[in-house]
Amino acid sequence: MEPFLYMVPYLLVECTSSDEQRAQYSLEPFTYERPTNIPPARAGDCGVYILKYIKCHALGI
C-alpha cells in the first residue's frame, strides 16, 4: 500500500491538462487507515457489501 500513497499524488499532477488544475494538487503522500469494526461478509455478497461501504465512507457515515 505504501508505494501507492506516494505514487498517486504524482499521477494526479502529471495527468492534469492545465496549470490551473495542476496547482490544486499537492505532492504530499496520501494517508490511509484500516477500519477494524467492519462485520464479516457472507459468501457471495462481498461485492455489494464493499460498494455500500464505499458509499457510507464517502458520505462520512
Q: Would you state the pLDDT for residue 41?
A: 67
pTM greater than 0.75 (yes/no): no
- Which range of residues forms the domain containing residue 29? 2-59
Contact 26, 9 (CB under 8 A): yes
Alpha-helical (H) ranges within 1-61 are: 2-15, 19-23, 46-59
Number of domains in the chain: 1
Q: Inform me whether the pLDDT recorded for 60 exceeds 80.
A: yes
Contact 8, 25 (CB under 8 A): no
At 46-55, the pLDDT tens digits run 788 888 888 9
At 3-56, the pLDDT tens digits run 989 898 888 888 887 777 777 778 888 888 888 887 776 776 778 888 888 898
In the predicted model, what is the mean pLDDT of the chain? 82
